[in-house]
Chain A
Amino acid sequence: MPPKTKLSCRNVWKLYGPNAERLLKTTPNPTADDIRKAGVIGAVRNANIEIAEGEIFVIMGLSGSGKSTLVRCLSRLIEPTTGEVLFDDTDLLTASDKELIEIRRHKMGMVFQHFALLPHLTVLQNVMFPLTIQATPQAEANAKAHEVVELVGLKGREDYYPRELSGGQQQRVGIARSLVTEPDLWFLDEPFSALDPLIRREMQDEFLRLQERLHKTIVFITHDFEEAVRLADRIAIMKDGVVIQIATPEELVMHPATDYVAEFTKHIPRSKVLTVGGVMTAGAVGEEDPIAQSTRVSDVAERIIAADAPIPVSDSSGQIVGSIDRKAVAQVLFGDGDVA
């Protein structure tokens, strides 16, 4: 059974400028030229996305490509010029203010690039804020806030003020705050971009660990392809407001839709993207401990190269589906890309 779709959008356009609506009325599908001629800015152009329940969906693109705008259309922080956004089968764009407030209070959480912590509140009060404004009983709110503060590893710092924390710690507060209402859908807009590379890595691990426990549906924005590859189940690549390809990291590397995508994927070491399943040879060979199909080649390269014989590969149910040998790994590590 294919997983249920949690959030989707159809034909979403966001144009900035005085003539935006008129343009879309006269030409429902304007080209980049039409848009430029009308003197408007095409921040998001005809986005169609379906995000499955429990999936980590990464939106990736360079600065100004419209990622933030798209994700704000999905949460209706920005009103799209036209289009349809379906969340659990309710159309967000026709929802009333009241319905929207309810949905945001209980079903959505969001983490921001520059943390967006309230400077006059302590860590605990910041984390509790979403509960406070829905008038959750004090004791319950307190207990929940303590729980998530502990979950993100900030126990003992509940009474600190944001300015007394490092960037990484501040973002942990931001994460805790977005989780305190136990949302189903979790938006993260470049959550780690403002952090140092080392901390960023640590936070990515932390994020994966959290997701393993929580199984949220996640929309994650980044401009860092490596980060996208590490975290994503699927990646959407944006350029000039257009989503040019949606695919798993592996497919992106193997079958880039355009030269632009190819250019992106060129610089990333293949071994970090390709999974064992993608480069194995079908058919069961070898006796050793099987490697899971979804493992990235880089994580097991050493073991395979050290082994004399091919190593079996298993799928998610543990069934052996193929094998992988040195040659395949060497091809990934040192080849010029034409695997398979």
Chain B
Amino acid sequence: MTRLNRSQIIILVLVLITIVLGYYGRDLSKALDARWLTKFPSAWVIPFKAYISSAMAWLIEDAAVGPVSFTDITRAIAWLIEQPYNLVLALLAHGFVSGQGNDAQVIVPAVSWIVVITAVIALGQYCRDWGLAALVGACFIYLAVFGQWDSAMVTLASVLIAVPIGAGGGLLLGILAYRYPLFENIISPVLDLMQTIPIFAYLVPILFMFGFGPISALVATIIYATPPMVRITTLALKGVDPEILDFGRMAGTTQRQLMWRVLVPSASHSLMVGVNQVIMLTLNMVIIASMIGAGGLGFDVLAALRRLDIGAGFEAGIAIVVLAIAVDRLSQAFAERMGQVYHEASGSWVSRNRRTVLVLILLVLTWVLGQFSPLLLEYPDSQTITTGAFWDDTVEYLNVNYFDTFEAIKVFFLTWFMIPIKTVLLGIPWPWAIAMLTLLGWQAGGWRLALLCGGMASLILVSGLWSKAMVTVYLCGASVILATVIGVPLGVLAALNKRAGTAINLLIDTLQTLPSFVYLIPVVMLFRVGDFTALIAIVLYALAPAVRYAAHGIRSVSEELIEAGLVSGCTRRQLLRHIRLPMALPEILLGINQTIMLALSMLVITALVGTRDLGQEVYIALTKADTGRGLVAGLSIAFIAIIADRLINAGARQARIRFGLES
């Protein structure tokens, strides 16, 4: 046992004081007759909400540059997105219709389910092989047979619009950042920030600018999914072999030729990785986007959750997963296929494009023959299988027979883990909390970080959201602690044991493909609404990075160090404790950082199951379209995220410096 040095003792004492203060904070403030210590007086609150709301109102109603008003701009953007969206939506879901309401006449019906399934199978076969074709075919057949087809096509339509815009826009921004260092300097901190700010912070303003509906949802999705593409584009372009760049210039290319004929094609492989990211993020947004008006599967899940209709929610949730798997695998295979170059087969156009021809023929056939047999156009409702009742029954069975067990688990966690944390956090007098945060910032990263931490915490305070922020910190904190306690050992195990590693990787991969909402459904089924349900959903969602980074950190400890340990006679346990874990610490910290970010981004979702934190503020603001309230709460979440992010990064940096991995 090493003796603690002085600064460690001071830290320990401070932590203890904080806990004790927190635990007795309320009684103390009552005893001192200074309630303001734990409850920030509402008279001192600065009404940011009102300021922002009126600023937004001004923006929408009066702001203009010359004759062009702000609303004209948002309308133009909405119009631009709406046109292709309506087209794709008509093609996949609604058919081309003339007239309105009851007089509506379908001119051309939507593409038949048979054609869509054939098309994805053909695409799967083209991109890789029959195995992939079978997988994606099965996914889409599932959607038809289980009665999710219509909603799935609406969701697919929005994916088909959001992805090209996100990927294309990201590409262009990335190119700009590559070409103009000034632009890169501007955009790079913005991207940084966007990665720490949870999506909810900008849902409300978007709602305000574009109104409730699919266009708002698309805008939000695009804003959420684009930043990684910008990053990846800039990196990919910078990663092009400098000789290729020199060659392009020596060949006498103009700037434009150099970009589009030399650099972009040479970087196409990495660029495709970015596109895949955009697709995954788009699918991740499906349910959240339905909060501001997206239809389709996301809406079904949301509606079912609101009704607490477990069966329906679960069905739609699984359908999202199935769709996500199909789209993800297809896009990955497509990226691979594009990255390689193939010799073109010879022969006529028809013989070279047999798959396309087949799909086109089928399309025309179903459209013509569909007049006589609707089966060819729409999967018959009578043939769908619904599993809703099955899920409901299962839940009921579990609840009837195991109610006590579940209840016991819940109560145990609540009494011994969650409620103490909550009491302490809510009880800490805010002046002390802010002082401690500032001190921590100063310790970890000097006066700049101290200023940032203190400043942001004070802003949360004066906007009157302190106690809600503390609930947020409590929920996130508890989840992150749990996720770390589960995830880090899993990661270590995955790194040390090959067989366990395979299984754990599979688990984590699956968890990551699932959109965040899906976790909520089974948990609600078993534990009903409340903080504990939220905790479990957040832990499941945020577990992956803790595992991944820990495994990676342990794996990348240098072989020489391990050998040095072995030679000095360490047991396996000592090796882990004295060499592997300390060396992997920076990585583990970064994993925890990611876990915190994911946990924060789950908050609004958990608001659905009745938590009373900042997430709920945003959620309420969303339903009331109250911009000021939403933005202030969203920014508060963002501040928490930024504080956590900067503190942990600074800590990880210090650790790396201590181990000589960085100077």
Contacts and interface: CB of A to CB of B under 8 A. Distances in A.
Question: Is B a genuine binding partner of A?
Answer: yes
B129 interface: no
Given A105-B252, A119-B341, A133-B257, A72 B246 contact: yes
A72 to B, nearest CB: 7
Interface string B236-276: 00000101101101111110010001100110100000000
Contacts of B253: 101, 133
B341 A133 contact: no
Interface stretch (A37-45, A107-115, A291-299): A107-115
B243 A112 contact: yes
B658 interface: no
B499 interface: no
Interface in A81-105: 101-105
B343 A159 contact: yes
Interface string A101-136: 111111011101111101111000000011001100
Interface in A325-339: none
Contact of A101 (B246, B254, B261): B254
Contacts of B257: 133
A146 to B, nearest CB: 18
A94 to B, nearest CB: 18
A114 B241 contact: yes
Contact of A77 (B241, B246, B266, B343): B246
A116 B265 contact: no
Nearest to A77: B246
B254 A118 contact: no
Interface string B357-368: 000000000000
A115 B247 CA distance: 9
Contact of B251 (A72, A105, A114): A105
A273 B246 CA distance: 34
A104 B250 contact: yes
A75 interface: yes
A101 B252 contact: yes
Contact of A130 (B241, B244, B251, B341): B251
A161 interface: yes
Q: Among B251, B253, B268, find the residue whose CB has the most chain A CB atoms closer than 10 A.
A: B251
Contacts of A105: 251-252
Contacts of A187: 250
A181 to B, nearest CB: 8
A118 B265 contact: yes
Contacts of B262: 118
Contacts, number: 60
Contacts of B268: 120
A120 B252 contact: no
A120 B243 contact: no
A47 B250 CA distance: 22
- Interface size for chain A: under 10, 10 to 19, 20 to 34, or 35 or more residues? 20 to 34
B252 A104 contact: yes
Interface residues of B, number: 19
A120 B266 contact: yes
A113 B243 CA distance: 8
Contacts of A112: 243, 246-247
B102 to A, nearest CB: 54
Nearest to A131: B251
Nearest to B257: A133
Interface in B176-233: none
Contacts of A133: 251-254, 257, 261
Nearest to B343: A159
Contact of A110 (B246, B266, B343): B246
Given A133-B257, A161-B341, A116 B243 contact: yes
Contacts of B249: 77, 104
Contacts of B247: 110, 112, 116
Contacts of A118: 244, 262, 265-266
A125 B268 CA distance: 18
B254 A75 contact: no
A16 to B, nearest CB: 15
A104 B251 contact: yes
A116 B247 CA distance: 7
A75 B265 contact: no
A102 B254 CA distance: 10
Contacts of A121: 265
A72 B247 CA distance: 11
Contacts of A120: 265-266, 268, 341
Contacts of A119: 265-266, 341
Nearest to A160: B343
A157 to B, nearest CB: 12
Interface in B266-290: 266, 268
A118 B253 CA distance: 14
Interface in B516-551: none
Interface in A272-328: none
A99 to B, nearest CB: 11
B252 A77 contact: no
A260 to B, nearest CB: 29
A75 B250 contact: yes
Q: Among B250, B341, B343, find the residue whose CB has the most chain A CB atoms closer than 10 A.
A: B250
B246 A134 contact: no
B266 A114 contact: no
Contacts of B265: 118-121
A128 B265 CA distance: 16
Contacts of A159: 343
B247 to A, nearest CB: 4
Contact of B244 (A75, A116, A134, A161): A116
Contact of B252 (A72, A114, A115, A134): A134
A119 B266 CA distance: 7
B266 to A, nearest CB: 6
Contacts of B266: 118-120
A105 B254 CA distance: 11
Contacts of B343: 159
Contacts of A102: 252
A118 B254 CA distance: 17
A192 to B, nearest CB: 15
A116 B246 contact: yes
Nearest to A110: B250
A113 B241 CA distance: 12
A133 B250 CA distance: 12
A161 B342 CA distance: 9
B512 to A, nearest CB: 31
Contacts of A109: 250
A101 B251 CA distance: 8
Contacts of B241: 114, 116
Nearest to B251: A130
Interface string B465-507: 0000000000000000000000000000000000000000000
Contacts of A115: 243
Contacts of A103: 252
Contacts of A101: 252-254
A105 B261 CA distance: 16
Given A72-B246, A105-B251, 14 more contacts: A77-B250, A101-B254, A108-B250, A110-B246, A112-B246, A115-B243, A116-B241, A116-B243, A119-B341, A120-B268, A120-B341, A130-B251, A133-B251, A134-B252
> Which 8 pairs from chain A and chain B are nearest by CB?
A105-B252, A104-B252, A116-B243, A116-B247, A130-B251, A110-B250, A112-B243, A120-B265
8 contacts: A106-B252, A108-B250, A110-B250, A115-B243, A116-B244, A120-B341, A133-B251, A134-B252
Interface of B: 241, 243-244, 246-247, 249-254, 257, 261-262, 265-266, 268, 341, 343
